[in-house]
């Protein structure tokens, strides 16, 4: 049995704004095994990025983790001090964010930014850190790495900056890399380069990967297991292949149907999901998808629990209540 | 039958770029470097390519949001490339645009009624009652409600704002709408709503679209024909299904193979991963601009710019690999 690396239990994160409490993550539980690749899909506002930041304890005021446990290799991260967290962040768990343009400090040279991380966590001298930085840039496929270290971020292209971010994030051989929309700002040909690179590194360094994206294609091709988020909750969870071929939750089904098909000749009309996502300032009491769902029932006014649909899959939808009887969690 | 609404001939748009040093030489950025294509009445022509390839510049040149460096743009038979602002006015009504960011393209201090009536007032003289009637029927057409009439942009979601933008474009009965990444800023589940709506409008009014986007599968869905751009050039034009099932240009092949496929039942296509990045348009390679990343690059590609070959069935490709019949030269 594989080793459990990360366990999140009933995580709730809210932002206290002038307009009221925005409940970005409303009770999310999942686990991650060593070396696993987990995909998290969801639209903007579904809470996927806030969840990633919560795992790293990077939620800043006015945001707050209201409730829940985040267990990293047996230790609860939420009870840790800032000093203890710093030893973990960047060292054991690394985060790559969506926008490589703004994640790098524009007035500090690449070399300084990279060696800073290495010196901090690996306790090596400046010379040694520079040597390691050059190695890392080579690993992520950047040509003439010595030159790059002397450059500023604005001198590099988006794809190159994202490579540098990946290089920085693996500089301490993390156990887990969280990539939050790592290729959204990039063109497709560069996207496939970056995804290839991440999967090669994952195999080589044996790290686990959480890939957060709104692109179902990216998840289908790169992940083993997937969580589908909507309205701050996980709607459905399961192995990628089964989940995409046979979605159990109406939201997943709707998402997949709204994509253009690759059928030839006859043009099929798209099947959109009507309406728009819920307002998390006043999230609905019941199922967040109820008012857009074609199968809505009276019961949906009450938030469904998770129903297990087979050994590896669960879904938060009343439609599957009868299937497994009282087998739910 | 299939008359051209728009014909673009050898369109060029160059931007001067000042050198960073005071006495440095001024350089020229060739954003669009001599493209030719035409769009038929009532069709949707898609333009795809990576960021910086010049697709938006073409769009903006066609509706004359800026002056062009050289070339001709025939709109319904008239060359509008060299018209001044006064001469353009009567064409402005017939050419409208919907842009990517519905948060930036709507004036936040105007309500829906004001936003949609503004172009109507510029291009006609309707009474307030006429305006209101037209606007209400437009709102209905784009799926908004009557009580949205006096709301302001900040009260709407991204998808709803894009609907307002589309209603505004439609308010003057245009013949042509430039759709420049109209769905890129929208959520996946909302994109399909807007695409369906654009299709319905086209069916009803016969409007012609130039659809620019980087989401290749959506472009395939909505377009009749597609042009593929690389560094300021169109490298291939084809019917959309043909382009996707049998891409000819090596760049098109690589671009299409890079689309991640959400359908796990389809066998994975062989992915052509291009090495390197798009060269700077300030310093484009000689000959074929794609040669520095092309897996099939030959000696001739370095020296000779490949001409655009018309290989029948409206299909065109600019690559030294093919002869006039579209056969691979051995």
The minimum CA-CA distance between A259 and chain B, rounded to whole Å, is: 7
B168-187 pLDDT, tens digit each: 999 999 999 999 999 888 88
Tell me, yes or no, whether A205 and A289 share the same domain: no
| A281 Cβ contact list (under 8 Å, min separation 6) | A19, A20, A21, A22, A23
Interface contact flag, A188 B51, Cβ < 8 Å:
no
Is a pLDDT exceeding 80 seen at residue B248?
yes
CA dihedral B298, B304, B310, B314 (to 10 degrees): 80
Is a pLDDT exceeding 90 seen at residue B239?
yes
Which positions in chain A touch B193 (Cβ < 8 Å)?
Answer: 272-274
pLDDT given at position B271 = 83
**Topology of the domain covering B4-94+174-317:** Rossmann fold (3.40.50)
Q: pLDDT band at residue B277, thresholds of 50, 70 and 90?
A: confident
Tell me, yes or no, whether A190 and A278 share the same domain: no
Alpha-carbon distance values, A18 to A21, A24, A53, A59, A327 (Å): 8, 15, 22, 18, 42
CB-nearest to A189 from B187, B254, B264 is: B254
**In this structure, is residue A329 part of a structural domain?**
no
| B65 Cβ contact list (under 8 Å, min separation 6) | B97
Decide which of A168, A199, A223 is a domain's last residue. A223
Tell me, yes or no, whether A158 and A237 share the same domain: no
pLDDT given at position B1 = 42
Q: Which of A152, A229, A276, A293 to mutate to probe the B interface, most B CBs <10 Å?
A: A276
Q: How many CB atoms lie within 10 A of CB B74?
A: 16
Q: pLDDT band at residue B330, thresholds of 50, 70 and 90?
A: low
Peptide bond between residue A92 and the one before it cis (omega within 30 degrees of 0): no
Interface contact flag, B255 A189, Cβ < 8 Å:
yes
B1-29 pLDDT, tens digit each: 468 999 999 999 999 988 777 777 888 89
Which is more confidently placed, A77 or B330? Answer: A77
Are A148 and A167 in contact by the 8 Å Cβ rule? The answer is no
Q: What is the domain count for chain A?
A: 2
pLDDT given at position A327 = 47
**In this structure, is residue A37 part of a structural domain?**
yes
For A41, phi and psi rounded to 5 degrees? -110, 155
Which is more confidently placed, B101 or B210? Answer: B210
Which is more confidently placed, A310 or B46? Answer: B46
pLDDT given at position B187 = 82
Q: State which residues form the domain around A281.
A: 233-324
Interface contact flag, A214 B157, Cβ < 8 Å:
no
Tell me, yes or no, whether A244 and A299 share the same domain: yes
- Per-residue confidence of chain A (329 residues) as pLDDT tens digits? 468 899 999 999 999 998 899 999 999 999 999 989 999 998 888 999 999 999 999 998 899 999 999 999 999 999 899 999 998 998 899 999 877 778 899 999 999 999 998 998 888 999 999 999 998 888 888 888 888 999 999 888 888 888 898 889 888 889 999 999 888 777 888 888 888 888 888 888 889 999 999 889 999 999 999 999 999 999 999 999 999 999 999 999 999 988 887 665 567 788 889 888 888 888 999 999 999 999 999 999 999 999 999 889 999 999 998 765 444 44
- Find the CATH number of the domain harbouring A11: 3.40.50.300
Strands A37-41 and A208-213, sheet pairing: parallel
pLDDT given at position A7 = 95
Which is more confidently placed, A275 or B118? Answer: B118
Interface contact flag, A220 B261, Cβ < 8 Å:
yes
Tell me, yes or no, whether A248 and A191 share the same domain: no
Strands of B27-40's sheet in order across? B27-40, B4-17, B70-75, B78-79
Is a pLDDT exceeding 90 seen at residue B217?
no
Are B103 and B112 in contact by the 8 Å Cβ rule? The answer is no
**In this structure, is residue A80 part of a structural domain?**
yes
pLDDT given at position A266 = 65
| A147 Cβ contact list (under 8 Å, min separation 6) | none
Which positions in chain B touch A289 (Cβ < 8 Å)?
Answer: none
pLDDT given at position A122 = 87
**In this structure, is residue A228 part of a structural domain?**
no
Interface contact flag, A187 B214, Cβ < 8 Å:
yes
pLDDT given at position B260 = 86
The minimum CA-CA distance between A124 and chain B, rounded to whole Å, is: 33
Q: Which of A43, A47, A192 to mutate to probe the B interface, most B CBs <10 Å?
A: A192
Tell me, yes or no, whether A51 and A133 share the same domain: yes
Q: Write down the mean pLDDT value for chain B.
A: 90
Decide which of A191, A223, A255 is a domain's last residue. A223
The minimum CA-CA distance between A76 and chain B, rounded to whole Å, is: 34
CA distance B178 to B59: 7
Tell me, yes or no, whether A217 and A307 share the same domain: no
Tell me, yes or no, whether A64 and A154 share the same domain: yes
Is a pLDDT exceeding 70 seen at residue B134?
yes
CA distance A79 to A71: 10
Tell me, yes or no, whether A275 and A181 share the same domain: no
The mean pLDDT value for B88-117 works out to: 92
The mean pLDDT value for B131-147 works out to: 92
ipTM over 0.85: no
**In this structure, is residue A163 part of a structural domain?**
yes
Decide which of A223, A253, A279 is a domain's last residue. A223
pLDDT given at position A265 = 56
């Amino acid at each position: 049995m594989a080793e459990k690396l990360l366990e999140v239990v009933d995580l709730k994160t809210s932002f206290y704004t002038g307009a009221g409490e925005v409940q970005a993550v409303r009770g999310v539980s999942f686990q991650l095994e060593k070396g696993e690749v987990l995909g998290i899909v969801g639209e903007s506002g579904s809470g996927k990025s806030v969840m990633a930041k919560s795992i790293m304890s990077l939620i800043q005021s006015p945001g707050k983790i209201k409730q829940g446990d985040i267990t990293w290799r047996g230790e609860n991260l939420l009870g840790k001090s800032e000093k203890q967290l710093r030893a973990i962040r960047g060292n054991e768990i690394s985060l790559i964010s969506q926008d490589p343009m703004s994640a790098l400090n524009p007035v500090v040279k690449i070399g300084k930014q990279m060696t800073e991380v290495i010196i901090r966590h690996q306790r090596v001298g400046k010379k040694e850190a520079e040597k390691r930085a050059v190695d890392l840039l080579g690993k992520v496929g950047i040509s003439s790495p010595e030159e790059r270290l002397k450059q500023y971020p604005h001198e590099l292209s988006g794809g190159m900056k994202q490579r540098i971010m990946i290089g920085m994030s693996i500089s301490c051989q993390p156990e887990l890399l969280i990539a939050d929309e790592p290729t959204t700002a990039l063109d497709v040909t560069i996207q496939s380069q970056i995804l290839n690179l991440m999967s090669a590194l994952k195999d080589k360094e044996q790290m686990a990967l959480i890939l957060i994206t709104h692109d179902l294609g990216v998840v289908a091709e790169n992940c083993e297991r997937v969580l589908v988020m909507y309205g701050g909750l996980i709607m459905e969870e399961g192995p990628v292949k089964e989940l995409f071929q046979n979605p159990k939750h109406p939201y997943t089904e709707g998402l997949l149907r709204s994509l253009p098909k690759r059928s030839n000749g006859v043009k099929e009309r798209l099947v959109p999901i009507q309406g728009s996502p819920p307002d998390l300032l006043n999230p609905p009491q019941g199922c967040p998808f109820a008012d857009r769902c074609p199968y809505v029932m009276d019961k949906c006014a009450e938030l469904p629990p998770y129903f297990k649909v087979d050994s590896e899959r669960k879904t938060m939808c009343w439609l599957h209540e009868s299937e497994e009887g009282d087998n739910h969690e | 039958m299939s008359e051209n609404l728009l014909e673009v001939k050898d369109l060029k748009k160059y931007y001067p770029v000042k050198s960073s040093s005071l006495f440095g030489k001024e350089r020229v950025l060739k954003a669009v470097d001599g493209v030719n294509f035409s769009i038929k009445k009532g069709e949707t022509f898609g333009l795809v390519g990576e960021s910086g390839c010049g697709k938006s510049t073409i769009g903006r040149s066609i509706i004359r949001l800026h002056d062009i460096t050289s070339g001709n743009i025939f709109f319904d038979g008239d060359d509008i490339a060299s018209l001044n602002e006064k001469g353009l006015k009567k064409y402005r009504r017939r050419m409208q645009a919907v842009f990517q960011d519905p948060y930036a393209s709507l004036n936040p201090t105007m309500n829906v009624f004001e936003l949609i009536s503004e172009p109507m007032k510029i291009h006609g003289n309707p009474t307030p009652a006429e305006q209101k009637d037209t606007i209400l029927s437009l709102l209905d057409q784009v799926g908004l409600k009557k009580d949205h009439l006096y709301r302001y942009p900040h009260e709407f979601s991204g998808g709803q704002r894009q609907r307002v933008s589309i209603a505004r474009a439609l308010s003057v009965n245009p013949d042509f709408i430039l759709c420049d990444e109209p769905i890129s800023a929208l959520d996946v589940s909302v994109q399909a709503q807007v695409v369906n709506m654009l299709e319905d409008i086209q069916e009803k009014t016969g409007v012609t679209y130039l659809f620019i986007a980087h989401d290749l599968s959506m472009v395939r869905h909505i377009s009749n024909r597609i042009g593929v751009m690389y560094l300021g050039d169109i490298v291939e034009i084809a019917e959309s299904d043909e382009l996707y099932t049998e891409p000819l240009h090596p760049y098109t092949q690589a671009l299409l193979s890079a689309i991640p496929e959400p359908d796990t039942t389809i066998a994975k296509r062989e992915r052509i991963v291009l090495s390197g990045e798009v060269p700077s348009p300030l310093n484009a390679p000689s000959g074929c601009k794609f040669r520095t990343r092309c897996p099939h690059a030959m000696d001739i590609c370095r020296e000779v710019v490949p001409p655009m070959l018309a290989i029948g069935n409206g299909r065109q490709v600019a690559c030294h690999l093919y002869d006039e019949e579209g056969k691979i030269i051995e």
